[in-house]
Structure 1
Amino acid sequence: MASTFDLSKILKTNPVLTLRQQVSYTVKLSIPGIIAQISSIIMQYIDASMAGRLGPDASAAIGLTASSTWVLGSLSNALCLGFTVQVSHATGAGNKEDAKKTFFNSILTCLAFSFLLAAVSAAISYRLPFWLGSSSAINTDASWYFLIFGLSTPLFITVYLMSGMLQCSGNMKLPAIMNALMCFMDIAFNWLFIFKLKLGVKGAALGTAASAFVTAAGLFYYTVFKNEYLKLNNRKVMIIKLSVIKKAVRIALPVGLESTAFTGALVIVARMIAPLGSTALAANSFATTAEALCYMPGYGVQESAITLVGQSTGAKREDLTKSFSVITLLLGVSLMSLAAVVMWFACPLVFSFLTPDKAIQELSIKVLRIELFCEPFYAAAIVSSGALRGKGDTFIPGLMALFSLWVVRLGLSALLITDYELTGIWIAMTAELCFRGIILMLRLFCFKKKEGDDQ
């Protein structure tokens, strides 16, 4: 259905790649990834906008649990990455059998992990809003939203894993198409559950889960039965390999800690914001959702960085590893800077779409415009992290992100929230993202990962 980018095959037929060819491959792989990432954030816009029509309490309920649902997504993505990096290296080396063996083990491991996360989510869903310091007006809706989202974790991890496997083997088109379709399905299912069946906030979660189910089924079928590099059509590749699982955990653990630190910091920030009231909670949620439209292009480029740097590493081409790191970094910074400029002028219209509440609109515009100044540095952090992951270098970058989030962001947030309330939180975020971008770029270009070091 969609072509696969096989760097090892390209190098065999044309071992010298010109700068123009490298830029062309980068753009070719980035565009579908960007489309997929933007479609993902559009789903958040859809949920936020539809639920926002129910009033500020509904928006606040979703906003309160957003950081907690991100924890689930971050942990799922981290484990998937531990396997997709290995498949990327195997693809770069031209070893289809190893790619398929890794893929089979990834399915078993990731699904088992997702059911564990679903069980934990169900166990804590009732108490979570109380732990986050919410008001009694939104507790029930917040609990239901998190419960439904948590029980859907096996669906989301299937989407993440199948999309990641296709992308790292070079097929960026199908995941982009399926994620775009998921947006349209989300609109339809949300309309059905929120308004037609009058399920409110619960309906927003059910709509997202239903669209994820259809997407997961389609991606699973194509990847397992149709994809040239990954289809499991031979019993010889369907064996459990503990060495593959252990390596995946070694790669994923630092990324999981980094992602959990990020989302954990957001949980703490949500706890700080909760006493400020529903307007501040809703404004923070809407501003975060709107800002995601700026950084999602960066995550699309990050996916191409993982693929290009990962396959170059597998092909043992250090020259391409360096050049693809630079090219993807420049592309990511350019796209996110442009997105920030557009969002500066467009955010009043965006927030009027997300909520009819004027107070929430004004506060959302104020805090978002503060953060938009750091988008070039945020892009540097995102793409540098992807290039480092493509090389399998995750441990030290993970520690750097831990320090940045928990010391710089949370420390500044605690200092500034008393005098500046929600504005102080976003000033702290801006400073931290600039700091993180600088230190990860230094890691990418000033330190060389030793051969055979998986950490």
Structure 2
Amino acid sequence: MGTGNDNTDYLLSLIREGKKMTLGQQLRLTAYLSAPAVMAQLSSIAMQYIDASMVGSLGANASASIGLVSTTTWLFWGLCATAATGFSVQVAHRIGAGDFAGARKVLRESVAATFIFGSLLAAVGVSIGGALPGWLGGDEAIRHDSSVYFRIFSLFLPALQLNFLAGGMLRCSGNMRVPSLLNVLMCLLDVVFNFFLIFPTRQMEILDFSFVVPGAGLGVEGAALGTVLAELATGGGMMWYLCLRSPLLKLSGERGLLVPRKDTLRKAVRIALPMGFEHAAICGAQIMTTVIVAPLGIVAIAANSFAIIAESLCYMPGYGIAEAATTLVGQSLGANRIRLLRRFANITVWSGMSVMGIMGALMYMAAPQIIGVMTPVEEIRVLGVEILRIEAFAEPMFAASIVAYGVFVGAGSTSVPSLMNFASIWGVRLTLAAWLAPAMGLRGVWLAMCIELCFRGAIFLVRLWGGNWIYKLRIKK
């Protein structure tokens, strides 16, 4: 009986070699790739959940200081991920075509390019960190902590960039397990670092034993340091495995320039630029949402932040399945198997909608417990539960947009989907939020979000199932 890795490698080889795949094999391969990717995404959200819970115990101001800049950190985080995707999708195409040497060449060329990009983002983040909380309309009482948190996050962006690059390359090669395990490790390290960095030295009792636990007492600053140190350790491990141990992509013993060729860079820009524009537009809209929410008060800011983290428990499985879709579609396209590409697109989208539909129902029922873990403040808990339950109804259609987007990314077709995301969130969500917030407060903002996500899912399904985009696909060798 083979191991999960052996089965995955065998099934992926069927794509590259042009062999027939049964429906059962297609479903198993989707499951093999999706399960560890979903676990990795959930561990990432667990890390945010842990941060929020630990900081939430310090009070509403500490929670609001992180929540205020959360959309901006996601903007920078997403730009790093987008830069990595521009190269990793090329690797998926080359592996699908059986060009392993070419895949390793793209990997070599991507390291320097993405590191420089991450360093430039870090410089921008540090330079704007002092003024950012004020730009977002944050209360004077939370601006200092918000600024410190964001600057620490920004300083470590080059390491985060390489983490994204290594993880993306491994996933596009079909190796979901190593990135997933390392992301779980990152979650555990975050707990440990936070435990000692956030809280001061204190007396603890377990059963009949009493002992002193040392602590730095850094509060919000400690939460930021705990997160970036966990990311740094995980990124180092990810790069080590990619470059020295990966069966398909290891670079040990090979020579080649680290500077990307014009062709590689041009393809990376063609894939990543629309994604970067779309991500910046969406995060810009989220920042505008923060501007709408900020005048509603510290309770609304904190409840909004906690609910966003809690909702992530629902939609991160969708992103995990989308990563599997990108790998499957990318390798199918590289092997020039368009019919198989279409089947994998349908399998992954329906899987994502099913999983997130179930997660949405569970989130609705468990909302009081989920929010209650993150904050002891009753007013925040009540509001957080209400808005989280509004969002639960949108999860299946949200899944459709997430996974379909992963399909388009794997195909290297990012321009139109990026414009669709931009039009939906700016044209529908922000318009409705600005209209409903004065009368309904934070509940109106989240109702607008729910309506927009359903609309976005619908237009992505129309494009996916329309099918015309598939026949325009070309890989430029």
TM-score, normalised relative to structure 1 = 0.97
**1:217 to 2:236 alignment:** yes
**1:384 to 2:404 alignment:** yes
**1:184 to 2:206 alignment:** no
Name 1:337's counterpart in structure 2. Answer: 357
1:194-218 CA deviation, whole Å, 9 max, x = no partner? Answer: 0110001000000001101110110
Q: 1:448 is paired with a residue of what secondary structure? A: helix
In structure 1, what is the Cα distance between the partners aligned to 2:16 and 2:127?
53
In structure 2, what is the Cα distance between the partners aligned to 1:186 and 1:120?
25
Evaluate the alpha carbon distance shift between residue 119 and residue 425 of structure 1 in structure 2; reply closer, same or farther with a 3 A threshold.
same
In structure 2, what is the Cα distance between the partners aligned to 1:294 and 1:364?
15
* Counterpart among 171, 186, 201 of residue 167 in structure 1: 171
**1:396 to 2:396 alignment:** no
1:268-290 CA deviation, whole Å, 9 max, x = no partner? Answer: 10011111110000000000000
Structure 1 letter corresponding to 2:108: F
Name 1:312's counterpart in structure 2. Answer: 332
1:271-327 CA deviation, whole Å, 9 max, x = no partner? Answer: 111111100000000000000000011000000000001100000001110000000
In structure 1, what is the Cα distance between the partners aligned to 2:261 and 2:352?
36
Name 1:448's counterpart in structure 2. Answer: 469
Evaluate the alpha carbon distance shift between residue 54 and residue 319 of structure 1 in structure 2; reply closer, same or farther with a 3 A threshold.
same
1:123-145 CA deviation, whole Å, 9 max, x = no partner? Answer: 00000000000111000000000
For residues 262-281 of structure 1, the aligned pairs below 5 Å read: 262-281=282-301
- The percentage of counterpart residues that share the same residue type is 45
**Aligned residues of 2:311 and 2:388 also touching (Cα < 8 A):** yes
Q: Which moved more, 1:23-32 or 1:155-164?
A: 155-164
Name 2:41's counterpart in structure 1. Answer: 37
In structure 2, what is the Cα distance between the partners aligned to 1:113 and 1:158?
10
In structure 2, what is the Cα distance between the partners aligned to 1:125 and 1:376?
36
Name 2:304's counterpart in structure 1. Answer: 284
For residues 24-103 of structure 1, the aligned pairs below 5 Å read: 24-103=28-107
Evaluate the alpha carbon distance shift between residue 52 and residue 94 of structure 1 in structure 2; reply closer, same or farther with a 3 A threshold.
same
Structure 2 letter corresponding to 1:29: L
Structure 1 letter corresponding to 2:61: D
Q: 2:412 is paired with a residue of what secondary structure? A: coil
Paired positions, count: 454
Structure 1 letter corresponding to 2:128: I
In structure 2, what is the Cα distance between the partners aligned to 1:277 and 1:11?
54
Name 1:260's counterpart in structure 2. Answer: 280
In structure 2, what is the Cα distance between the partners aligned to 1:145 and 1:117?
16
Structure 1 letter corresponding to 2:118: S
Evaluate the alpha carbon distance shift between residue 8 and residue 349 of structure 1 in structure 2; reply closer, same or farther with a 3 A threshold.
closer
Structure 2 letter corresponding to 1:448: W
In structure 2, what is the Cα distance between the partners aligned to 1:82 and 1:169?
14
Name 2:247's counterpart in structure 1. Answer: 228
Name 2:226's counterpart in structure 1. Answer: 207
**1:152 to 2:160 alignment:** no
Q: Aligned-pair distance for 1:451?
A: 3.6
Name 2:209's counterpart in structure 1. Answer: none
Q: Aligned-pair distance for 1:236?
A: 3.9
Structure 2 letter corresponding to 1:232: L
**Aligned residues of 2:11 and 2:25 also touching (Cα < 8 A):** no
* Counterpart among 242, 246, 249 of residue 269 in structure 2: 249
Q: Aligned-pair distance for 1:14?
A: 7.1
Q: 1:229 is paired with a residue of what secondary structure? A: coil
* Unmatched tracts of structure 2, length 5 or more: 200-214
**Aligned residues of 2:315 and 2:356 also touching (Cα < 8 A):** yes
**Aligned residues of 2:130 and 2:147 also touching (Cα < 8 A):** yes
Name 2:217's counterpart in structure 1. Answer: 198
Structure 1 letter corresponding to 2:325: A
Evaluate the alpha carbon distance shift between residue 138 and residue 207 of structure 1 in structure 2; reply closer, same or farther with a 3 A threshold.
same
**Aligned residues of 2:15 and 2:332 also touching (Cα < 8 A):** no
Structure 2 letter corresponding to 1:222: Y
In structure 1, what is the Cα distance between the partners aligned to 2:262 and 2:101?
16
Q: 2:393 is paired with a residue of what secondary structure? A: helix
1:203-253 CA deviation, whole Å, 9 max, x = no partner? Answer: 000000110111011011110111121111311475631210111011001
Name 2:456's counterpart in structure 1. Answer: 436
1:397-441 CA deviation, whole Å, 9 max, x = no partner? Answer: 111111001111111111111101101100110111111111111
* Counterpart among 20, 24, 39 of residue 20 in structure 1: 24
Evaluate the alpha carbon distance shift between residue 277 and residue 312 of structure 1 in structure 2; reply closer, same or farther with a 3 A threshold.
same
**Aligned residues of 1:52 and 1:58 also touching (Cα < 8 A):** yes
In structure 2, what is the Cα distance between the partners aligned to 1:351 and 1:393?
38
1:146-181 CA deviation, whole Å, 9 max, x = no partner? Answer: 000111111211221111100000000000100001
Q: 2:441 is paired with a residue of what secondary structure? A: helix
In structure 1, what is the Cα distance between the partners aligned to 2:256 and 2:361?
53
Q: Aligned-pair distance for 1:16?
A: 1.0
Q: Which moved more, 1:117-126 or 1:433-442?
A: 433-442
Q: Aligned-pair distance for 1:452?
A: 3.0
**Aligned residues of 2:93 and 2:331 also touching (Cα < 8 A):** yes
In structure 1, what is the Cα distance between the partners aligned to 2:36 and 2:51?
23
**Aligned residues of 1:6 and 1:92 also touching (Cα < 8 A):** no
Name 1:113's counterpart in structure 2. Answer: 117
**Aligned residues of 1:100 and 1:237 also touching (Cα < 8 A):** no
- What is the CA RMSD across the aligned residues, in angstroms? 1.5
Evaluate the alpha carbon distance shift between residue 151 and residue 239 of structure 1 in structure 2; reply closer, same or farther with a 3 A threshold.
closer
**Aligned residues of 1:370 and 1:426 also touching (Cα < 8 A):** yes
Q: Aligned-pair distance for 1:106?
A: 1.3
**Aligned residues of 2:111 and 2:258 also touching (Cα < 8 A):** no
Structure 1 letter corresponding to 2:469: K
Q: Aligned-pair distance for 1:5?
A: 3.5
**Aligned residues of 1:92 and 1:315 also touching (Cα < 8 A):** yes
In structure 1, what is the Cα distance between the partners aligned to 2:282 and 2:18?
41
Q: 2:439 is paired with a residue of what secondary structure? A: helix
Q: 1:316 is paired with a residue of what secondary structure? A: coil
* Counterpart among 321, 344, 356 of residue 324 in structure 1: 344
TM-score, normalised relative to structure 2 = 0.93
Evaluate the alpha carbon distance shift between residue 322 and residue 237 of structure 1 in structure 2; reply closer, same or farther with a 3 A threshold.
farther
* Counterpart among 416, 430, 436 of residue 436 in structure 2: 416
In structure 2, what is the Cα distance between the partners aligned to 1:305 and 1:12?
16
Q: 2:345 is paired with a residue of what secondary structure? A: helix
